[in-house]
Amino acid sequence: MVAAVVVALVQGGRHDVDPAPVDVPRASPRDAAEVLASLVSGVESRDSGALAGLAPGGDAGVGDRLAGIADTASALDLRAVTARYVDQVGTVASDGTWSGTVELTWQVARLDRAPARAEVVVTFTPDDEGLAIAGFGAGGAARVPLWLRGRLAVATAPGVLVMVDGTTSEAESVVKRVQRAIDVVRRVLPDGIGRVVVEVPASAGDLDETLGVSPGTYAGIAAVTAPVGNAADEDGPVHVFVNPDVTAGLRRAGAQVVMSHELVHVATDAVRRPVEPWLLEGFADYVALRDSRLPDDVTLGRAIEAARRDGVPRSFPAAGDFDTRARDLQARYEESWLACRILAERVGERGLVRVYREVGAGRPVSSALRRDGLPEAILVRAWRERLAQLAG
C-alpha cells in the first residue's frame, strides 16, 4: 500500500509529501486551575490521601510531602487558603512538565489577623490521571511558604505559635525561647507584644526560599522579622523567621538575645515604621541586652575592632550598612546599640522609648531628639568619643 502511493506520486510528477502532525506538549491553564482547586480542597479538609493523590504516579517523595501538608494545615489551623493560576513560567519540557505562577493566600487563623498573599511557582506534570503537582518553587528568588514543605513540627503557648521543619522538641525549645523573650521585652515595653508566630526552616537556603529572596541573602543572619507574603499588603501578617544554620552555632544566651531582639521588632511593628536603621536596630539590641552583664569588650568587640582598623565613624550607620551581605555588619549593629545606650544615659530609658515611638510615628529623628533636649549633633559627638575611648 505504501509503495503504491509513492509510485503514484512520482508518476504524477509530484515530489512533496504532507508532513505528519507533531503533537507538541502545551501548558493547560484550565487543567492547572482544576488541580489547584483540588489542592485547596485537600488543605481545607485536611485530607492527606487527597493531597497525596495530586502527586505524579510513582513519586512517593512528592506524595509524602503533599500528604504532610494536611497535618501541618491542621496543626496551624490554616484558613483562607486560595490558589489562583496566573501565568506560565518558561517553556514546556518535552515530557509535558511546566511551571506556572500561582497567587496563593493562607492564614494561621489563631494568630494572624489577616491572610498572607504571595506568588508561588508550582510545577505541573502530566500523568495517567491527568495533571499532577510535581513540586513548588523554581530556584532563584521564588517563594515557597514553609507550610508547603510538608509535615512540620508545631508547638504553641498562649499567644505564641512556632513551626519548625524539624522535630517537636526543637519547636518546643523555640517556644520557651519566645516566652523568655516576651518577658525581656515587657521590662521596657510593658504594653506587651501581642501575638507571635515563628517559622524555622531546615536550613539557611530554605530560609531564603521561604522569604522569596536570592540564595545566600540571609546566610549570615540569625533571624529576621518580615512580612509572610507580599510586603505591599499593609494588613498582611508579620512573622519571625529563624536561620537554624546560624543559631545552631550560638550559645543559649546568644540565641536568646537574637529572639528578644526580633520580638522588639514585633512589639513595635518595626517592619512598617519609618524608623532610621541605627535607631531601629539599636533600640532592639538595647532591649535585648538591657540586663546583660557582659563587658563592653565582648558586646562591642566587632565595633571596637572596626574602629581600630578604619577609625571612628563620623556618623551613625546608614541603611546601606545593614545590607545582609555588608562588610562589618555586626559592627554596625553594635555601633547602633551603643548610640541607643548613650541616648538612654542622657534622657533616660523612658526618653529613649519616647524618641523611638515618635520617630516610628513619623517625626524626624533630629526633631524627636531635640524635643528631648539632646540635639543629634551632640549625641553623635558623645557616641564618637565613647567609641574612640573603647578603641583605645
Q: Where are the domains of the chain?
A: 29-148, 152-268, 273-392
Q: Please tell me the class of the 29-148 domain.
A: alpha beta
Neighbour-count burial of 343, counting CB atoms closer than 10 A to its CB (0-12 exposed, 13-18 middle, 19+ buried): buried
Distance (Å, whole) CA 114 – CA 103: 16
**Per residue in 377-387, is it b (16+ CB within 10 Å) or e — as a string?**
eebbebbbebb
Distance (Å, whole) CA 85 – CA 235: 23
Distance (Å, whole) CA 185 – CA 290: 10
Reading the block at residue 226, the C-alpha cell is 518580615
Neighbours of 372 (CB within 10 A): 17
Reading the block at residue 365, the C-alpha cell is 529623628
Reading the block at residue 375, the C-alpha cell is 540635639
Query: 98-108 and 196-200 as β-strands: parallel, antiparallel, unpaired?
Result: unpaired
What pLDDT is stored for residue 21 in this prediction?
A: 53
Which of 366, 362, 357, 267 minimizes the C-alpha distance to 316? 366
Are 161 and 154 contacting, i.e. CB atoms less than 8 angstroms apart?
yes
What pLDDT is stored for residue 18 in this prediction?
A: 56
CATH number attached to the domain at 152-268: 3.30.2010
Contacts of 53 (CB under 8 A, 6+ apart): 63, 129
What is the torsion angle, in degrees rounded to the nearest 10, for the CA atoms of residue 153, residue 80, residue 52 and residue 88? -120
Mean pLDDT of the chain: 92
What pLDDT is stored for residue 3 in this prediction?
A: 40
Question: In which band, very low, low, confident or very high, does the pLDDT at 27 lie, cut at 50, 70 and 90?
Answer: confident
Q: Estimate to the nearest angstrom the gap between the alpha carbon of 190 and the chain centroid.
A: 27
Task: Specify the range with the lowest mean pLDDT, choosing from 134-138, 236-240, 251-255, 349-353.
Answer: 134-138
For range 140-158, the mean pLDDT: 93
Are 199 and 242 contacting, i.e. CB atoms less than 8 angstroms apart?
yes
User: Helix, strand or coil for residue 103?
Assistant: strand
Query: 223-227 and 238-242 as β-strands: parallel, antiparallel, unpaired?
Result: antiparallel
Are 169 and 156 contacting, i.e. CB atoms less than 8 angstroms apart?
no
What secondary structure letter does DSSP report for 195? -
Question: In which band, very low, low, confident or very high, does the pLDDT at 23 lie, cut at 50, 70 and 90?
Answer: low
**Domains 29-148 and 152-268 agree in fold:** no
One-letter amino acid for residue 301 of the chain: G
Asked if residue 53 has pLDDT above 80, the reply is: yes
State how far the alpha carbon of 390 is from the alpha carbons of 33, 118, 154, 313, 329, in Å.
62, 46, 44, 13, 19
Beta bridge partners of 130: 127
Task: Specify the range with the lowest mean pLDDT, choosing from 55-59, 174-178, 386-390.
Answer: 55-59
Neighbour-count burial of 315, counting CB atoms closer than 10 A to its CB (0-12 exposed, 13-18 middle, 19+ buried): exposed
What pLDDT is stored for residue 24 in this prediction?
A: 65
Question: In which band, very low, low, confident or very high, does the pLDDT at 138 lie, cut at 50, 70 and 90?
Answer: confident
> What length does the chain have?
392
For range 162-173, the mean pLDDT: 98
Asked if residue 170 has pLDDT above 60, the reply is: yes
Q: Which residue has the cell 547602633?
A: 336
